[in-house]
Amino acid sequence: MTSFSPFLRSLLLVFVFAAFLCYFFVDYPLIKALAPYRVAMRTALKVASLLIFPPLHLLIWGIAFIWARFSYAKERFILPFFEIFVAQAISVAFVRVLKVLIGRARPECFLAYDMTGFEFFSPNHHFHSLPSGHTMTAMTLATSLALLFPKFRILGFTLALLLSLSRVFLLDHFPSDLFATGILGILIAQVTHLVIRKITNYKYGEDLDHGNNSPIRNR
């Protein structure tokens, strides 16, 4: 694969449409409707949110890469794990920078002070609604795994979207934040995949699916 797959292109278009639709018509009415139920669902939502906690995934995939790197039997997983880790690291960096640059007011600002909009270049946590770090982790991971295991791409993105919705129900982000972040996550993971594959000349999906020997051994 030398470009975006039809599936990912279609998903990007859906996310773009959903982001605009939510921003203009869904965000604020939905947040108002969800506000009374946040406390009742908080524990379950926190657990779901923890599953896509960015530092946790950096740790998991970093350890997975190191484990594969020093385990001869798992050598064929070195580059896939490395790709996932790099995509996660890049996504975390993008999130930290873009939150400050964009400065979108969080739902709590809207509920408490009827405050909406953007405060660009803001270090204030209350203006870091976009992008969502948890959603970025989920969507970047779903994209990386979809490129490695195409058969499970629908399941992966479904789980990523469901877990990301916990951020909306916790009133930490607007629905449009999730879809906009999803666009970034897909782009980051896809570009990372293409660059690493070009450098290594390694077709991840084919080697993993068919049990071929490690690309390192074949060099």
Q: Has residue 1 been placed in a domain? A: no
CATH number of the CATH domain containing 82: 1.20.144
Q: Is residue 123 part of a domain?
A: yes
Is 215 within a domain? Answer: no
Can you say whether the dihedral through the CA atoms of 77, 205, 190, 156 is positive or negative? Answer: negative
Does residue 217 form part of some domain?
A: no
% pLDDT > 70, the chain: 90
| Chain centroid offset of residue 23 CA | 19
Task: Kindly state whether residue 218 falls inside one of the protein's structural domains.
Answer: no
pLDDT at 166: 96
Report how far residue 139's alpha carbon sits from residue 54's, in angstroms, rounded to the nearest whole number: 11
What would the pLDDT profile of 144-201 be if each residue is shown by its tens digit? 999 999 999 999 999 999 999 999 999 999 999 999 999 999 999 999 999 998 898 7
**Does 148 map to a domain?**
yes
DSSP bridge partners of 104: 118
- Tell me whether residue 216 is in a domain: no
**Confidence class for position 2, pLDDT limits 50, 70, 90:** low
Query: Which structural domain, as residue segments, surrounds residue 193?
Result: 6-210
104 torsion bin: left (phi>0), alpha (psi -120 to 50), beta (else): beta
Domain count, the chain: 1
Contact present, 182 and 45 (Cβ < 8 Å) = no
- Residue 130 and residue 98 in contact, taking contact as beta carbons nearer than 8 Å: yes
Q: Which two tokens stand for residue 33?
A: 């409707």
Within the chain, residue ranges assigned H as helices are: 6-21, 27-34, 38-50, 54-69, 78-102, 107-113, 133-148, 153-169, 175-200, 204-210
d(CA 135, CA 177): 9
Give ∠ CA 90-92-93 in degrees, rounded to 5. Answer: 65
Q: pLDDT digits over 39-85, tens only?
A: 888 899 999 999 999 999 999 999 999 999 998 767 789 999 999 99
Q: Which two tokens stand for residue 113?
A: 């002070």
